[in-house]
Amino acid sequence: MLKGGCLCGGVQYEADTDGSVAGHCHCTRCQRASGSGSLPAFLVDTDKLNIVAGADQLTTYAEEGFAARHFCKTCGSGIYASGENFTVVNAGTLVPGSEFKPQFHMMVGSKASWEEITDGLTQFPEYPPMG
Ligand SMILES: [Zn+2]
Ligand SMILES: [Zn+2]
């Protein structure tokens, strides 16, 4: 079980997963959404992500054809994104003691020119084979 929450503490969740299906996404949308070079996230079964506090503080940014991004409307922290049949949680929201295990970098073909990947994780130019 992994636990996490937003910057202001209003939104808190529990994710029933070991966080081992996880990676860093370098797509331009994740760059914008995170304000960073990439967005680390882990996969969780949609029905195993439980918002235990502050569900009413969550708001959603959604565009046709892309995952909907859910974030805290008080502090702006991105919490998770959901598509038709997947949910990914932003790993930067995890609390100490809740560790995820990134396995890869994805969408490396669109990574920021100034970002250098220095770890040894597998790099995929687009989506990883698992889809
Ligand atoms: Zn918040
Ligand atoms: Zn992305």
* Confidence category of residue 14, pLDDT binned at 50, 70, 90: very high
In the reported structure, the alpha carbon of residue 13 is separated from the centroid of ligand 1 by a whole-number distance in angstroms of 12
Q: Is the pLDDT of residue 131 over 60?
A: no
* Confidence category of residue 10, pLDDT binned at 50, 70, 90: very high
CA distances from 18 to 9, 21, 69, 80, 108 (A): 23, 8, 22, 16, 25
In the reported structure, the alpha carbon of residue 58 is separated from the centroid of ligand 2 by a whole-number distance in angstroms of 20
In the reported structure, the alpha carbon of residue 94 is separated from the centroid of ligand 1 by a whole-number distance in angstroms of 13
Q: pLDDT digit string (tens) for 55-92?
A: 999 999 999 999 999 999 999 999 999 998 899 999 99
pLDDT at 129: 82
Domain boundaries, given as residue ranges, for the chain? 2-114
In the reported structure, the alpha carbon of residue 18 is separated from the centroid of ligand 1 by a whole-number distance in angstroms of 24
Query: What architecture is domain 2-114?
Result: Beta Complex (2.170)
In the reported structure, the alpha carbon of residue 101 is separated from the centroid of ligand 1 by a whole-number distance in angstroms of 24
